Amino acid sequence: ANRKFHPADTVVDCGHGVKIGGGNFQVIAGPCSVEGKNLLTIARRVKKAGATMLRGGAFKPRTSPYAYQGMGAEGLDLLIEAAGELDMPIVTEVMDPRDVQLFVDRGIDVMQIGARNAQNFSLLKEVGKTTTPVLLKRGMSGTIDELLMAAEYIMSEGNENVILCERGIRTFETRTRNTFDLNAVPVLHYLSHLPVVADPSHATGYTRYVEPMALAACAAGADGLEIEVHDCPEKAWSDGSQALTPDQFDRTMDRIRAIRAVI
Ligand code: PEP
Ligand code: MN
Domains in the chain: boundaries: 3-262
Which amino acid makes up residue 2?
N
Which amino acid makes up residue 180?
F
pLDDT for 66 equals: 97
Q: 150 in helix, strand or coil?
A: helix
Superfamily of domain 3-262: Aldolase class I (3.20.20.70)
* Ligand 1 atom 6: residue of nearest CA: 114
Confidence of residue 64 (pLDDT cuts 50, 70, 90): very high
Residues in contact with 71: Cβ distance below 8 Å, sequence separation at least 6, in sequence order: 33, 34, 35, 36, 58, 78
H or E element, residue 146: helix 144-155
| CA 183/CA 55 separation, integer angstroms | 25
Q: Please provide the average confidence, as pLDDT, over all residues in the chain.
A: 98
Q: What is the pTM of this model?
A: 0.98
Question: Residue 260, CB half-sphere, CA atoms under 13 Å: how many?
Answer: 18
**Which atom of ligand 1 is closest in space to residue 238's alpha carbon?**
3
Ligand 2: centre distance to CA 221 (Å): 23
| CA 200/CA 256 separation, integer angstroms | 13
Pick from 166, 174, 177, 161: nearest CA to 143: 166
The ipTM value here is: 0.99
Strands 110-113 and 90-93 come out as parallel
Which amino acid makes up residue 122?
S
| CA 47/CA 242 separation, integer angstroms | 19
Cα–Cα separations (whole angstroms), residue 81 to 58, 86, 99: 13, 9, 20
Quick: pLDDT tens for 173-230.
999 999 999 999 999 999 999 999 999 999 999 999 999 999 999 999 999 999 999 9
pLDDT for 211 equals: 99
pLDDT for 170 equals: 98
pLDDT for 76 equals: 98
* Ligand 1 atom 1: residue of nearest CA: 32
Quick: pLDDT tens for 91-144.
999 999 999 999 999 999 999 999 999 999 999 999 999 999 999 999 999 999
Pick from 109, 38, 132, 110: nearest CA to 78: 38
| CA 40/CA 85 separation, integer angstroms | 9
Cβ–Cβ < 8 Å for 39, 70: no
Confidence of residue 57 (pLDDT cuts 50, 70, 90): very high
**Which atom of ligand 1 is closest in space to residue 165's alpha carbon?**
9
Cβ–Cβ < 8 Å for 229, 246: yes
**Which atom of ligand 1 is closest in space to residue 114's alpha carbon?**
8
Confidence of residue 43 (pLDDT cuts 50, 70, 90): very high
**Residues in a beta bridge with 53:** 28
* Ligand 1 atom 3: residue of nearest CA: 32
Strands 19-20 and 12-13 come out as antiparallel
DSSP 244: B
pLDDT for 72 equals: 98
| Percent of the chain clearing pLDDT 70 (strictly above) | 100
pLDDT for 158 equals: 98
* Ligand 1 atom 10: residue of nearest CA: 115
Ligand 2: centre distance to CA 119 (Å): 19
